[in-house]
């Protein structure tokens, strides 16, 4: 017998759950300002998230997919991507979107059911939130192929959950990205649950990262609650993609500390002890402990930051709530360059006040 292939999967962690360094920190992490920037981004995400859930609970937002427990992923991705790169997100990338300049009021508009929330004033070429799971992996392949054809040194990053990696779209995207060696990073937020389906029933593979092996490129795991590890791994994967080294699959191991969305009640399928155990891994507390131990973060800084974040979030809420509602007919305006006849009729009927479907 001849062995024709072997593979290993790396796992990266720099900070343990208490915030203590367990390996020599990467260069960027020796600059405490850089770590403080990561921490600030994580706290802003959490403050926004808490407020968004409260808005939904009081009937001021349609629905919302919280990112509680996954703040390190968004913050690190936001720092690792260059402005000219393109983010092709799922619905749990609030942190990365804010870090890339999507306005919080736009995110609220989106979750309030308003199309204008997907028309970002900041990152104009970033994709809107994708609710169909894994479809955004295919879109990212198209974006990365365009970069390649135009000879632009830009990278596409698609983000999805562990459940999405069971979809054909995901496998097909990996395959195409591998064959064409595209400048593309697949980031998987493995938060252990796809609504009520646990990771163990999602795939028999030992890691999700190893799905890249079958597509001919490298995959790796990273502690998804360690912002330093995420930033280091994503920097490397994005840098490699930019320099022509092809795609990477990064599996970030984390946990969804919240319900799936505000329409879900996770206590019906998830044991309370499982959730409380994972609070010990809280990514925000982990980085804060590290900064406090390094002597660069004190109570005063924390209070000032919370105050600053609350004020920014309240300003976004005020902006969101002050915008007059969208015209109902705009429902027809964003899918087709030219409306097919049947939809044109419906649109006209809606404008006339006939309810749209006579």
Ligand X SMILES: Cc1ncc(C[n+]2csc(CCOP(=O)(O)OP(=O)(O)O)c2C)c(N)n1
Catalytic residue list: 256, 260, 269
Tokens coding 61: 């937002």
Q: Which residues of 200-238 are buried (b: 16+ CB within 10 A; e: fewer)?
A: eebeeeebbbbbbbebebbbbbbbbbbbbbbbbbbbbbb
Nearer to ligand X, 105 or 254 (CB): 254
Residues in Cβ contact with 339 at an 8 Å cutoff, skipping those fewer than 6 apart:
332, 347
The stretch among 47-55, 178-186, 190-198, 306-314 that binds ligand X (CB under 6 A) is 190-198
Least Cβ distance, residue 303 to ligand X (angstroms): 32
The stretch among 3-11, 187-195, 238-246, 318-326 that binds ligand X (CB under 6 A) is 187-195
Least Cβ distance, residue 192 to ligand X (angstroms): 8
β-partners of residue 158 are 88, 186
248 interacts with ligand X by CB under 6 A: no
**Distance, C-alpha 95 to centroid of its chain:** 7
Among 160, 176, 227, 249, binds ligand X (CB under 6 A): 160
Nearer to ligand X, 98 or 309 (CB): 98
Least Cβ distance, residue 167 to ligand X (angstroms): 7
260 interacts with ligand X by CB under 6 A: yes
201 interacts with ligand X by CB under 6 A: no
Nearer to ligand X, 257 or 309 (CB): 257
Contact between 159 and 77 under an 8 Å Cβ cutoff? The reply is: yes
The stretch among 29-37, 51-59, 76-84, 160-168 that binds ligand X (CB under 6 A) is 160-168
Specify the DSSP element, H or E, that contains 291: helix 283-293
Q: Which residues of 154-174 are buried (b: 16+ CB within 10 A; e: fewer)?
A: bbbbbbbbbbbbbbebbbebb
Nearer to ligand X, 79 or 259 (CB): 259
Distance CA(260)–CA(334), nearest Å, equals 28
Site for ligand X in 115-134 (CB under 6 A): 131-133
Among 137, 191, 221, 225, binds ligand X (CB under 6 A): 191
Least Cβ distance, residue 32 to ligand X (angstroms): 31
Q: Mask 74-93, x = binds ligand X (CB under 6 A)? A: ------------------x-
Q: Mask 162-181, x = binds ligand X (CB under 6 A)? A: xxx-----------------
Helices vs. strands in the chain: H and E counts, helices first: 12, 8
Helix, strand, coil tally for the chain in percent (to 5): 50, 10, 40
- Residue count, binding to ligand X (CB under 6 A): 16
Residue whose C-alpha is closest to residue 326's, from 107, 60, 117, 105: 117
194 interacts with ligand X by CB under 6 A: yes
Specify the DSSP element, H or E, that contains 219: strand 218-223
Which residues of this protein are in contact with ligand X, per CB under 6 A? 92, 131-133, 160-164, 189, 191, 193-195, 256, 260
């Amino acid at each position: 017998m001849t062995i024709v292939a072997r593979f290993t999967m790396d796992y990266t962690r720099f900070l343990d759950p208490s915030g203590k360094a367990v390996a020599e920190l990467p260069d960027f992490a020796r600059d405490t300002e850089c770590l403080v920037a990561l921490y600030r981004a994580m706290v802003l995400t959490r403050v926004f998230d808490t407020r968004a859930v409260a808005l939904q609970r009081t009937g001021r937002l349609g629905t919302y997919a919280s990112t509680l427990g996954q703040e390190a992923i968004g913050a690190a991705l936001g720092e690792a991507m260059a402005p000219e790169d393109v983010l092709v997100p799922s619905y749990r990338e609030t942190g990365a979107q804010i870090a890339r300049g999507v306005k919080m009021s736009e995110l609220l508009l989106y979750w309030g059911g308003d199309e204008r929330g997907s028309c970002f004033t900041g990152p104009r070429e970033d994709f809107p939130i994708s609710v169909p799971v894994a479809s955004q992996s295919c879109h990212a392949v198209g974006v990365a192929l365009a970069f390649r054809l135009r000879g632009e040194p830009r990278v596409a990053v698609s983000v999805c959950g562990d459940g999405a990696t069971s979809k054909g779209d995901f496998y097909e995207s990996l395959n195409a990205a591998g064959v064409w060696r595209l400048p593309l990073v697949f980031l998987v937020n493995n938060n252990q649950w796809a609504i009520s389906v646990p990771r163990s029933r999602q795939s028999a593979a030992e890691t999700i990262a190893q799905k890249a092996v079958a597509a001919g490129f490298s995959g790796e795991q990273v502690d998804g609650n360690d912002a330093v590890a995420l930033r280091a791994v994503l920097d490397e994967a994005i840098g490699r993609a930019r320099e022509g080294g092809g795609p990477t699959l990064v599996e970030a191991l984390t946990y969804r500390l919240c319900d799936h969305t505000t329409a879900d009640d996770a206590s019906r399928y998830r044991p309370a002890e499982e959730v409380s155990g994972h609070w010990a891994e809280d990514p925000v507390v982990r980085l804060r402990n590290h900064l406090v131990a390094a002597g660069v973060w004190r109570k005063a800084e924390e209070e000032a930051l919370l105050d600053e974040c609350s004020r920014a979030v309240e300003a976004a809420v005020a902006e969101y709530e002050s915008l007059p509602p969208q015209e109902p007919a705009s429902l027809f305006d964003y899918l087709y360059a030219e409306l097919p006849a049947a939809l044109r009729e419906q649109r006209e009927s809606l404008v006339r006040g006939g309810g749209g479907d006579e």
